[in-house]
Chains A and B, each alone.
Chain A
Amino acid sequence: AQSVTQPDIHITVSEGASLELRCNYSYGATPYLFWYVQSPGQGLQLLLKYFSGDTLVQGIKGFEAEFKRSQSSFNLRKPSVHWSDAAEYFCASILTGGGNKLTFGTGTQLKVEL
């Protein structure tokens, strides 16, 4: 069965430092991949998505993600983190041709130290 793995439950970075959140998927076909951010008590906001084409995807709020088929990864990056980026980040996927259900990773809690 398809699955999405986020190996890091918690990550702490200093404001201004770079950030990389890891996401791996586990199936042979190319999935649709997403990164969402969730602030406490709120819904989810889409940061970026990958369907096909250029493997480096630009998103909102200065985030980007790179799809690497050889590593089955879709890691989220930001060159300089702001205190307001502290939140929960979810990687999600839909298997192409496999319906329309989003499968979520377990999430990574980002803490930003001032």
Chain B
Amino acid sequence: GAVVSQHPSWVICKSGTSVKIECRSLDFQATTMFWYRQFPKQSLMLMATSNEGSKATYEQGVEKDKFLINHASLTLSTLTVTSAHPEDSSFYICSAREGQAGGGYTFGSGTRLTVV
């Protein structure tokens, strides 16, 4: 089946630095990828929708300049948390869609970001 690889699985960074998280579709082309944020014991909150070759669509309340998304190819999307602060510490999960709407949503294994 479809596989989405997310890297790194965990990262610790200092306040003020930037962190890049990669999401790759390994055996299919993903025209659309999604980035979610999950707080402990809570559900997934959609941050943005990433479309290959175009600008990402951010959900209301998500800072575009802080969470930079790049989807330069059909198999790779990246999320960069810029000038990270402790409140950005969270679990970030990507998802890739293959084919028609409603089908083939595959999730990465997530990235635990801790900002100290």
List chain A positions with a Cβ less than 8 A from chain B.
32, 34, 36, 41-46, 49, 51, 90, 94, 96, 99-102, 104-107, 109
Contact = CB atoms under 8 A, between A and B. Distances in A.
Interface stretch (B11-19, B68-76, B100-108): B100-108
Nearest to A6: B43
A90 B105 contact: no
B44 A90 contact: yes
A102 B101 CA distance: 10
Given A44-B93, A105-B43, A106-B42, A100 B101 contact: yes
A109 B43 CA distance: 11
Nearest to A97: B101
29 contacts: A32-B101, A32-B102, A34-B105, A36-B107, A43-B6, A43-B93, A43-B109, A44-B44, A44-B107, A45-B107, A46-B105, A49-B103, A51-B102, A90-B44, A94-B101, A94-B102, A99-B101, A100-B49, A101-B46, A101-B49, A102-B34, A102-B46, A102-B95, A102-B105, A104-B43, A105-B43, A106-B42, A107-B42, A107-B43
A92 to B, nearest CB: 8
A100 B107 contact: no
Interface residues of B, number: 24
Contacts of B41: 109
Contacts of B44: 44, 90, 104
Contacts of A101: 34, 46, 49
Nearest to A34: B105
Interface string B40-67: 0111101001000000000000000000
A42 B110 contact: yes
Contacts of B101: 32, 94, 99-100
A36 B49 CA distance: 20
Interface string B81-116: 000000000010101010001110111111010000
